[in-house]
Chain A
Amino acid sequence: SAVISQKPSRDICQRGTSLTIQCQVDSQVTMMFWYRQQPGQSLTLIATANQGSEATYESGFVIDKFPISRPNLTFSTLTVSNMSPEDSSIYLCSVGDRASYTFGSGTRLTVV
């Protein structure tokens, strides 16, 4: 299965600033996803990162708040923009298909 390197692993950010999270995969993958895991809760899909086109966002998530890049088949970034304390979560990237999904180790974001 694919190996994912996600960074940063954690960060503490000031309210109103933005943070970009990177996800690097060791092989070319078609499907890449970004999830949010709020404290004590399950995973919520933010969007599917599409190579060569705009990301596909789930209900409740918008591009202005969570812009995503996918310049090639091994890399993607998620930016959390204009952060507020409510954005404090673990953000995870994932790759996979029907057979299995592999997750990055996550970025633990705290907004103060």
Chain B
Amino acid sequence: GNSVTQMEGPVTLSEEAFLTINCTYTATGYPSLFWYVQYPGEGLQLLLKATKADDKGSNKGFEATYRKETTSFHLEKGSVQVSDSAVYFCAPSSKSTFGDGTTLTVKP
């Protein structure tokens, strides 16, 4: 089945720093890949997705590229803001598999 390994947290950055959260996957076939975000006290929201190899998903300044050769889908943002503080989850299209989540705290 499909599974993901996600970078352990927590991650603490200063505002305007560069962010990378690593995610690698193992899968049968070529699943779609997703990043979800959970802001404090809220439910999960889809942040971005990519449906095939070499696709780049982007939203709110975040980007992730579906790399088949390295089986990765790392989340990046060039300049984080305090409002980006949240828990980020990587997931393949399989409904039952989520990464462990990475808690990001951005300090002013």
Interface residues of A (CB under 8 A from B): 1, 6, 31, 33, 41-43, 45, 48, 58, 90, 92, 94, 96, 98-106
The A-contacting residues of B in range 5-59, CB under 8 angstroms, are: 31-32, 34, 36, 42-46, 49, 51
Closest 10 CB pairs of A and B: A105-B43, A106-B43, A103-B44, A45-B96, A43-B98, A42-B100, A42-B98, A42-B101, A98-B93, A103-B43
Interface residues of B (CB under 8 A from A): 31-32, 34, 36, 42-46, 49, 51, 89, 91, 93, 95-96, 98-101
Q: Using Cβ atoms and an 8 Å threshold, which residues of chain A touch B42?
A: 105-106
The closest CB in chain A to the CB of B90 belongs to A42
Dominant secondary structure at the B interface:
loop
Complex CA–CA separation, A71 to B93 (angstroms): 26
A92 touches B43 (CB 8 A): yes
A43 touches B89 (CB 8 A): yes
Complex CA–CA separation, A15 to B69 (angstroms): 50
